[in-house]
Amino acid sequence: MALKLSLFVQSYQRFLFILFFILIAACFPQNHTDTPNLHSATSECRVIKHWMGEACVPANPQRIIVLDTNPLDAVLALGVKPIGSPGFEYLSLPESQIKGIENIGGDLHPNLEKIALLKPDLILGNRWDEKIYDKLSQIAPTVIAPSEDPAWKEDLRLYAQALNKTQQAEQLIKAYQQRVQEFQRRMGNRLTQTEVSITTSYNYNAGQPAAIYLKNSFMGAVIAETGLQRPAAQRHNGFSQMISLEMLNLLDADVMFVVNPDPESSTLSQLQQHPLWSKLDVVQRGEVYIVSYDIWVAQRNIGGANRILDDLFKYLVKENIQ
């Protein structure tokens, strides 16, 4: 009798074990469409098409996590403070904007456990997160933007659609385009006659002291939209190109913006002390301006674009020249 009872108990335990895993598998299907049954934030949702497929997003999400500086900049501009974001080491944002936002780790390796504990009802990322998309979408509806830097406005529109703030996004874009037109008006004939070089100090000791930013970079796209010209060597497709000391002539232009990734580093000062640097025409004319890496490289959406425009107004607009 005891043996029969023991076998019955073992069989019943095995049945419960198998049932448990069947239920878990049913709750987390492996596909690229988030369904409303997966997430209990709301009984209503909107289907948002994105880079990885479709996501069923709450009508008005309240607990948003962003996985990169691009969506972070976008949602802040839209008046939304996320509950979680990667660290802010590359963003010079006001403390009032980032206070209270939980650090979820690096943008390349976010902490999935921490994200889950924050209980988001929407996650916004970019195509760099595609390898962890399935895991993210099990935590909350996840919208992935293509994040092609020259097409940053389309990223903004997608994030705004997910947040149900499409109208606000269009207003931001319209205001930005009006600023571009105002810059063009105030530059006058100088606009198409001014070549702008964009460079950064890189690794002086490794023989690659600088890099030039090309047309597919975020700042390259902003510069192109204003109508300013670029030196021939910087008009190519691509994000950036590292250069040696012997190639420093590729930096020359009417104006040079040097994006400084680390104000405390000696790399830029070493570059500036080299004889070939002082031979550049743009250096001799005093048209070299140091600008923030946080803005020109890292911010990568509407806020960063407007702050780049701030620098263009500051350094290039000369009221006494028509």
10 pLDDT tier (thresholds 50, 70, 90): very low
Q: How many Å is the Cα radius of gyration of the chain?
A: 25
Range of the domain at 128: 36-164
Domain shared by 298 and 252, yes or no: yes
Q: Is residue 322 part of a domain?
A: no
268 pLDDT tier (thresholds 50, 70, 90): confident
Number of domains in the chain: 2
* pTM score, whole prediction: 0.83
For residue 225, give the CATH number of its domain. Answer: 3.40.50.1980
258 pLDDT tier (thresholds 50, 70, 90): very high
How many angstroms separate the CA atoms of 199 and 234, rounded?
10
DSSP state of 297: I
| pLDDT at 43 (0 to 100) | 56
State the amino acid at position 162 in one-letter form.
A
Which tokens hold the place of 59? 């009508």
Domain shared by 154 and 203, yes or no: no
Q: Is residue 270 part of a domain?
A: yes
pLDDT (mean) for 161-188: 98
Q: Is residue 299 part of a domain?
A: yes
Q: Look at the block and give the residue holding tokens 């002082």.
A: 278
Q: Is residue 321 part of a domain?
A: no
Which tokens hold the place of 291? 């600008």
Q: Is residue 72 part of a domain?
A: yes
Instruction: Supply angle C-alpha 63, 69, 75, rounded to 5.
Output: 40
Domain shared by 212 and 296, yes or no: yes
Q: Is residue 20 part of a domain?
A: no
119 pLDDT tier (thresholds 50, 70, 90): very high
User: For the segment 216-230, what is each residue's pLDDT rounded down to a tens digit?
Assistant: 999 999 999 999 999
Q: What residues have CB less than 8 Å from 75, skipping those under 6 apart?
A: 64, 66, 81, 82, 124, 159, 163
State the amino acid at position 25 in one-letter form.
A
Transcribe 166-218 into DSSP letters: HHHHHHHHHHHHHHHHHHHHHHGGGTTT-BEEEEEEEEGGGTEEEEEE-TTSH
Q: Is residue 1 part of a domain?
A: no
Higher pLDDT, residue 73 or 25: 73
Domain shared by 122 and 242, yes or no: no
Domain shared by 143 and 220, yes or no: no
The residue among 281, 273, 276 whose CA lies nearest residue 246 is 276
Domain shared by 40 and 131, yes or no: yes
Domain shared by 219 and 123, yes or no: no
Which tokens hold the place of 105? 């780790």
Please check whether residue 160 is in contact with residue 142, taking contact to mean a CB–CB distance below 8 angstroms: no
State the amino acid at position 201 in one-letter form.
S
pLDDT (mean) for 140-157: 94
pLDDT (mean) for 30-34: 46
Domain shared by 46 and 150, yes or no: yes
Domain shared by 64 and 149, yes or no: yes
Domain shared by 198 and 307, yes or no: yes
pLDDT (mean) for 286-303: 93
Domain shared by 134 and 206, yes or no: no
Share above pLDDT 90 across residues of the chain, in percent, rounded to a whole number? 68
Helix and strand element counts for the chain (H, E): 13, 12
Q: Is residue 63 part of a domain?
A: yes
Domain shared by 218 and 270, yes or no: yes
How many angstroms separate the CA atoms of 248 and 270, rounded?
13
Residue that is last in its domain, among 108, 129, 164:
164
